[in-house]
């Protein structure tokens, strides 16, 4: 398993018809991340048997309540379950003040540290990097400053061709070959040429999460050819004027963005409470970009080489 995305919430501003506000759980090579934290997020994590203690990184797209109001309950549950490891929280400035105010008036001190990473939602910036992935912000077009997130796997190690392994090969030789290097002895004589002992690495994937936004052509180059794109689709085309007024997107616009960006697969979500039946919305998107699915609660999408 390389990338695994579970939808926890698909609703817009209001919970409706069993749909929860926006939240997603993302697992990339055993890096456990939460994207947005709408109301009821810890109930959804429990419902889908996702252990909250595994989550080490939380990314908040903006400070409209339907994208973060579940956060404090989740933090207090982590505290009550005796979490001690650091939790990394990524948000624009302001969420730190909200958290501190609630801790102040509840006279609470968490058992764990929150490492707060403030970002500017108007800029494309690298906000997290480790040995397997990078995360960049994607500036969006919404009434409140808002950012999406681009999660991209780094190039994976080359695979050892087991049929070519020899008895004299040491573990450090194998590690060097997997990293793409050739192996030499102490006299600089070539022992093992990388191209002869390895196979190409497994595919690396990219996932773009585009939270609340109107049509935003500026992000096309940044999300071009990602394997999986989540793009909000609050309204249908018949409510296009409402979408423009509130700086949201229609299902057709989300699909047009996916098509223009050449992505592999599109997920749509953040559905308005005016739509009980989402099938017409899905069909509207598929007429423009056929490889579209609804980002519904409990659905898991996987990317595997």
Same domain? 115 vs 195: no
Q: What is the pTM of this model?
A: 0.91
Per-chain mean pLDDT for the chain: 94
> Which of 199, 230, 263 finishes a domain?
199
Measured in degrees and rounded to the nearest 5, phi and psi for residue 284 equal -60, -45
Q: Which of 36, 66, 212, 227 is catalytic?
A: 66
CATH number, domain at 276? 3.60.15.10
> Which of 139, 168, 199 finishes a domain?
199
Same domain? 102 vs 188: no
120 is catalytic: no
Q: What does the pLDDT read at residue 305?
A: 73
Same domain? 20 vs 115: yes
How far is C-alpha 132 from the chain's CA centre? 14
Beta bridge partners of 231: 210, 268
Distance (Å, rounded) from C-alpha 154 to C-alpha 63? Answer: 30
Same domain? 274 vs 134: yes
Q: What is the DSSP letter of 112?
A: S
Is residue 268 within 8 Å of 294, Cβ to Cβ?
Answer: yes
Same domain? 138 vs 224: yes
Q: What does the pLDDT read at residue 1?
A: 61
Q: What does the pLDDT read at residue 161?
A: 73
Same domain? 191 vs 109: no
Q: What tens digit of pLDDT does each residue of 50-103 get? A: 999 999 999 999 999 999 999 999 999 999 999 999 999 999 999 999 999 999
Torsion region of 149: left, alpha or beta (phi above 0 gives left; psi -120 to 50 gives alpha): beta
Same domain? 190 vs 214: no
Of residues 179 and 111, the one with the higher pLDDT is 111
Token readout for 89 is 């929280």
254 burial via Cβ count (<10 Å: 0-12, 13-18, 19+): buried
> Which of 179, 199, 219 finishes a domain?
199
Same domain? 55 vs 147: yes
Q: What does the pLDDT read at residue 187?
A: 83
Same domain? 133 vs 177: no
Residue 235, helix vs strand vs coil: strand
Q: What does the pLDDT read at residue 173?
A: 79
The whole domain housing 195 covers: 159-199
Token readout for 9 is 């919430």
Distance (Å, rounded) from C-alpha 29 to C-alpha 14? Answer: 33
Same domain? 128 vs 226: yes
Same domain? 126 vs 271: yes
Q: What does the pLDDT read at residue 171?
A: 78
Number of domains in the chain: 2
Same domain? 169 vs 232: no
């Amino acid at each position: 398993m390389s990338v695994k995305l579970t939808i926890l919430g698909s609703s817009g501003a209001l919970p409706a018809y069993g749909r929860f506000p926006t939240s997603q759980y993302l697992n990339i090579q055993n890096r456990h991340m939460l994207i947005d934290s709408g109301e009821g997020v810890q109930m959804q994590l429990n419902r889908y048997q996702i252990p909250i203690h595994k989550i080490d990184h939380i990314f908040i797209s903006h400070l409209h309540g339907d994208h973060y109001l579940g956060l404090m309950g989740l933090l207090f549950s982590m505290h009550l379950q005796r979490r001690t490891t650091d939790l990394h929280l990524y948000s624009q400035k302001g969420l730190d003040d909200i958290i501190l105010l609630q801790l102040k008036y509840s006279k609470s001190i968490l058992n764990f540290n929150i490492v707060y990473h403030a970002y500017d939602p108007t800029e494309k910036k690298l906000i997290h990097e480790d040995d397997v992935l990078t995360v960049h912000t994607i500036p969006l077009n919404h009434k409140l400053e808002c950012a999406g997130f681009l999660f991209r796997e780094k190039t994976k190690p080359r695979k050892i061709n087991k049929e070519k392994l020899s008895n004299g090969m040491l573990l450090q030789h194998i590690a060097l070959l997997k990293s793409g290097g050739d192996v030499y002895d102490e006299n600089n004589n070539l022992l093992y040429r990388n191209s002869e002992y390895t196979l190409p690495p497994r595919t690396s994937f990219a996932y773009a999460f585009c939270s609340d936004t109107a049509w935003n052509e500026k992000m096309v180059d940044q999300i071009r050819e990602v394997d999986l794109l989540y793009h909000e689709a609050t309204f249908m085309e018949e409510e296009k004027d409402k979408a423009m007024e509130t700086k949201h997107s229609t299902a057709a616009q989300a699909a047009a963005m996916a098509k223009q960006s050449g992505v592999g697969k599109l997920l749509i979500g953040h559905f308005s409470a005016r739509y009980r039946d989402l099938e017409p919305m899905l069909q509207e998107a598929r007429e423009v970009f056929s490889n579209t699915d609804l980002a519904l609660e409990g659905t898991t999408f996987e990317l595997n080489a």
